[in-house]
Amino acid sequence: QLKQASLQAWAEMRQQTRTWNNAAAQRRLETVGRRIVNAAGRGGQSWEFVLFDSAELNAFVLPGGQVGFYRGLYEICEKDDWMATVLGHEVGHVTGRHAAERYSRDVATQTGLQVAGQVTNNQLAMAALGLGAQVGIQLPFSREQESEADILGLNYMQAAGYNPREAIPLWQRMSQSGARQPEFLSTHPDPANRIARMQAYIQQQGW
């Protein structure tokens, strides 16, 4: 069900959202992205990297290997390390099977969903992929899942040859973005605690 929803969501996204035709930016995204997915042990699967022409500070990776990166977020990624921070975090959600955990939980219970009418499994799958705005359901990742994605992302950055310490200024800048902050910050009401956890992990690893 997740795979089907993933393909459907990606097809709709490509159809409805304008892509950003910037060859240099595209090459940069693919270069950083492939280094991260290789570091995550997922280099053997098919990946597709697309830049969307939107001012949003957001990015997403679907379980099928479809990567969407928004122009607004790209433009603040002054360093490749910052882009690797975002991609590492998102790929961490994929390798951590967080969408599958969300989907299984909510298909089993369908609790906490304040939605009029019947909720289909495909709608739940779309929401579990982090695309809930399209179907009127929001299923945020838990704080535990977000924290795991943070740590996995740091590991992938380091393994890919990027500087994990650069994750800190990137998340600090993101946390100051106010209303434009990306969806994956929404389950962390205190960004300072999140950053402190990452700093502690980086120090513990001797990076």
Residue 153 burial class via C-beta count within 10 angstroms: exposed 0-12, middle 13-18, buried 19 and up: buried
Quick one: pLDDT band at residue 194, thresholds 50, 70, 90? confident
Q: pLDDT tens across 145-172, in order? A: 788 888 999 999 999 999 999 999 998 8
Mean pLDDT of the chain: 80
- Angstrom CA distances, 178 to 16, 57, 174, 189, stand at 26, 11, 8, 12
Residue bearing the bigger pLDDT, 83 or 67? 83
Give the residue numbers marked as catalytic: 90
* Tokens 């956890």 -> residue: 197
- Taking Cα atoms as reference points, which of 103, 123, 107 lies closest to residue 115? 123
How many DSSP H helices and E strands does the chain contain?
A: 9, 3
pLDDT of residue 203: 97
pLDDT of residue 95: 81
Spatial distance between the Cα atoms of 155 and 164, rounded to a whole number of angstroms? 8
Q: pLDDT tens across 3-43, in order? A: 777 788 788 888 888 999 999 999 999 999 999 999 999 99
Quick one: pLDDT band at residue 202, thresholds 50, 70, 90? very high
Quick one: pLDDT band at residue 179, thresholds 50, 70, 90? very low
Token pair, residue 4, equals 């089907």
Lowest mean pLDDT among 45-54, 56-65, 127-136, 150-159: 127-136
C-beta separation of 58 from 72 below 8 A: yes
Phi-psi region of 118 (alpha: psi -120 to 50; beta: other; left: phi over 0): beta
Residue 111 burial class via C-beta count within 10 angstroms: exposed 0-12, middle 13-18, buried 19 and up: exposed
Angle at 98 between CA 95 and CA 103, to 5 degrees: 135
